[in-house]
Amino acid sequence: MNTTTNRRVALVTGAAGELGRAICARLCRDGLHIVAADINLQAAQQLVDSLECQPEQRIIAVYADMADKGSIDAMVEQAGAEFGRIDVVVNNAAVNHRGSILDFDPAKWDHMMAVNLRGPALLCQKVAPYWQAQGSGRVINMVSRCWVAGGPPAYVACKAGLVGLTRSMARELAPYQVTVNAIAPGLLPSAFTLDGRDAESFERMAAGSINSTPLKRLTTPQDIANTTAFLASGDAAFITAEVIHVCGGSQLAPFGSG
């Protein structure tokens, strides 16, 4: 362990992505040490290089493939060796192999389940001994408004499963004063949502999303970073097993015209 300060430590997966970068920047501003984990280590390192630390605050980039238990274990061991504690886990990494229930590919289904659902469970299992020793901890799982609204079946199944995992872990980890919550973002442009789509088709999807959103805009990375910071803070100490929809009301079904 290199660190002598008692700053809290946040481990963020998918740190190099659109939401991950905003979350790391915000938690960094809030003074936490950050473990920025991603399968794209080079991009995670670029993020780390771009963030300004306070004196004695540290941010490290770590490789992790959330589909691989060995890689998850190695990431936690590296974080533990570096900081000696892990306070906040943000399960943000995800993949989306789009496909209909009529023609889905079982190998892609399994990969999505591994990254999006089993990975967060394995990560929390590996970090749990820190929480048990510390008597505190925070888990923030990134789901999606589509867990209620529906959408690509495998993706929705993972996110609905992650809500179930959130609620189950909230009960199991409560004796150690660990809170477990989920954030459900609405649509925003990222590699994740643009993948395989041209700009025009994304614009059409975005226009449709804005139209069906009572607050009439897309989600921003800052919306999600702010909510993550709140759930990670002392102000949220008595909130657990919740799903916070940060999508301008788009989780609501349309309600008539009159």
Ligand X SMILES: NC(=O)c1ccc[n+]([C@@H]2O[C@H](COP(=O)([O-])OP(=O)(O)OC[C@H]3O[C@@H](n4cnc5c(N)ncnc54)[C@H](O)[C@@H]3O)[C@@H](O)[C@H]2O)c1
- What residues act catalytically? 155
Q: Is 94 in the site for ligand X (CB under 6 A)?
A: yes
Which helix (H) or strand (E) segment holds residue 38: the answer is strand 33-38
d(CA 151, CA 3): 44
Per-residue x/- mask for ligand X, residues 38 to 77, rule CB under 6 A? xxx-----------------------xxxx----------
Per CB under 6 A, 225 contacts ligand X = no
β-strands 88-91, 59-63 pairing: unpaired
Select the residue interacting with ligand X from 59, 140, 187, 243 (CB under 6 A). 187
18 binds ligand X (CB under 6 A): yes
Residue number with CB closer to ligand X (7 or 245): 245
Nearest residue (beta carbon) to ligand X: 17
Where does this chain touch ligand X (CB under 6 A) — which range of 26-34, 35-43, 50-58, 98-106? 35-43
Taking the C-alpha atoms of residue 44 and residue 60, their distance in angstroms, rounded to an integer, is 9
Nearest approach, Cβ of 179 to ligand X (angstroms)?
Answer: 19
Out of 12, 16, 32, 61, point to the residue binding ligand X (CB under 6 A).
16
| Among positions 8, 10, 17, 118, the unique one binding ligand X when judged by CB under 6 A | 17
If the CB atoms of residues 167 and 197 are measured against ligand X, the closer one turns out to be: 197
Q: Which of 133, 174, 191, 237 binds ligand X (CB under 6 A)?
A: 191
Which range in 13-21, 101-109, 171-179, 232-240 contacts ligand X by CB under 6 A? Answer: 13-21
Q: What's 231's DSSP letter?
A: H
Extract long-range pairs of 165-168: CB within 8 Å, 24+ residues apart: 165/117, 165/120, 165/121, 165/141, 166/139, 166/141, 166/241, 166/243, 167/241
For the bound state, the minimum distance from the C-beta of residue 181 to ligand X, rounded and expressed in Å, comes to 14
Is the distance from CB of 231 to CB of 179 less than 8 angstroms? yes
Radius of gyration of the chain (CA): 18
Distance, C-alpha 25 to centroid of its chain: 14
Q: Which of 109, 192, 202, 230 binds ligand X (CB under 6 A)?
A: 192
Q: Sheet holding 178-185: strands in order across? A: 59-63, 33-38, 9-13, 88-91, 137-142, 178-185, 243-246
CB 17 within 8 A of CB 38: yes
Is the Cβ of residue 228 or residue 240 nearer to ligand X in the bound state?
Answer: 228
Residues that bind ligand X (CB under 6 A): 13-14, 16-20, 38-40, 64-67, 92-95, 115, 142, 144, 185, 187-188, 190-193
